[in-house]
Chains A and B, each alone.
Chain A
């Protein structure tokens, strides 16, 4: 277990709802859920969720910390906003799913091999480096994120699509060397660093 995780377990003892309220994006909304279940029928990848949103909210209130944070469920959120459009209580469910995923990732207890976890981290790294997403490099790191052999296999299976994209000039091999970028990378990185600092400092205060 990571240190941060142990620290949080001690800090909040048995009050997982309070921990979520304090540390998870839009977490203060969880207590507003009336368990109607409308959201749970809304997820496009619903059949693959061990615990649909309504159940996650119930488990948070029941203090099932470990089960919630190590779940792969919220990583299956496609950000379709079906749930948000339908929830009678107006919960920002999509954001809470992203927030739970982010928190579990930060604590180091999100499921290890989770593909969306890896991809979402790659995406963030890719964009913070240059300020813009470099689709080719993102694609290549995506293929190889599960190791070299798996990467070669995956890259081959996607080669047809890649060629189609290249032929239509919607993917450029030149992107690998440099490619799209903003000018004020330093400024952007300073902004992001500060934003992170402020966010962590706020958490400490709870």
Chain B
């Protein structure tokens, strides 16, 4: 297969020494194996996630994503925009759809962008990395690269909210999307069936402002994975990953539980299955160590 190139929007949490820097590490290894070249959008800015709304009105928030699209159009006009973060993907894709559905909004946005010397057409597709994997490669092709199948590991596929709603992945249902389970299977591991918190909310950004309420949601997500017999949880979203992994101590203290459940990215699994070492797979970024993956990666 020829090299595939995309205009890449990494997002704030993926930056060096930021909360999802380990996601970025594993994505880079996965892309290396699949011969994907990610061309970073020059000087991209924050998308304001889904929490900028108090300070930023509608047009300022749309302008943030529009600026990124304008920069992408200049630098990589013929490439699809690809995001690895669910919130980045959602904000950018939503902006694109709204600009196209509303000429007045498109004009106002361009008036604002002109102040920074930019102009947007918003004609590029805006895609999540998972879409690239499934649609541009497909499970069969992804499976061909596996050199170390993740045999015997039971994994709960936690899809969460924003990779699933409102856009979701083509051909998947909102209630029970299967792509993450299929990816797990393709890597040689065992997806757990009937994971009933698969598309439940982890609290998102409200994990910071409403910690107790959000941790109650997170507790159910982890408990349900244990109930299904999972050894670890996999997710496509950096917010989900952080929320479900990082608060387990707090939850244990409050609810008297003994959670110690690793939470990894699909790209972590793929990097290990593709024969990358622990560091390349971002395993040193696990607060709760994924020992089974470390063992395979260390072979």
Contact = CB atoms under 8 A, between A and B. Distances in A.
Interface string A177-199: 00010111001101111111011
Contacts of A168: 22, 284-287
A117 interface: yes
B142 interface: no
Contact of B57 (A25, A119, A135, A165): A25
Given A133-B46, A192-B63, A78 B54 contact: no
Contact of A119 (B45, B51, B67, B114): B51
Contact of A123 (B22, B49, B214): B49
Contacts, number: 215
Nearest to A143: B208
A80 B55 contact: no
Interface in A131-147: 131-133, 135, 142
A117 B174 CA distance: 29
B63 A169 contact: no
Interface string B220-239: 00000000000000000000
B55 A85 contact: no
Given A124-B54, A170-B20, A188-B116, A78 B201 contact: yes
Contact of A132 (B12, B55, B113, B201): B12
Interface residues of B, number: 66
Contacts of B64: 127, 192
Interface in B153-201: 161-162, 165-166, 174, 200-201
Contacts of A115: 209-210
Given A124-B48, A187-B116, A195 B60 contact: yes
A147 B59 CA distance: 32
A44 B217 contact: yes
Contact of A135 (B13, B48, B118, B213): B13
B135 interface: no
B44 to A, nearest CB: 7
Dominant secondary structure of chain A at its interface with chain B: helix
B55 A199 contact: no
Contact of B45 (A125, A142, A188): A188
Interface string B279-296: 000001111000000000
Interface in B24-75: 43-46, 48-60, 62-64, 67
A170 B22 contact: yes
B204 interface: yes
Nearest to A161: B246
A39 interface: no
Contacts of B217: 44-45
A116 interface: yes
B18 A170 contact: yes
Interface in A1-37: 25
Contacts of A81: 161-162, 165-166
Contacts of A133: 12-13, 46
Contact of B174 (A85, A121, A172): A85
B123 interface: no
A98 interface: yes
A127 B91 CA distance: 15
Contact of B166 (A84, A102, A192, A195): A84
Given A105-B54, A196-B60, 18 more contacts: A45-B213, A78-B201, A85-B165, A99-B58, A102-B53, A102-B58, A105-B55, A116-B205, A124-B55, A128-B56, A164-B246, A167-B287, A180-B16, A180-B18, A182-B45, A188-B116, A191-B116, A194-B111
12 contacts: A45-B203, A79-B50, A119-B208, A120-B52, A123-B52, A123-B55, A167-B287, A180-B15, A187-B116, A196-B59, A199-B57, A199-B58
Listed from nearest, the 4 A-B pairs whose CB atoms lie closest are A124-B55, A187-B116, A120-B54, A172-B17
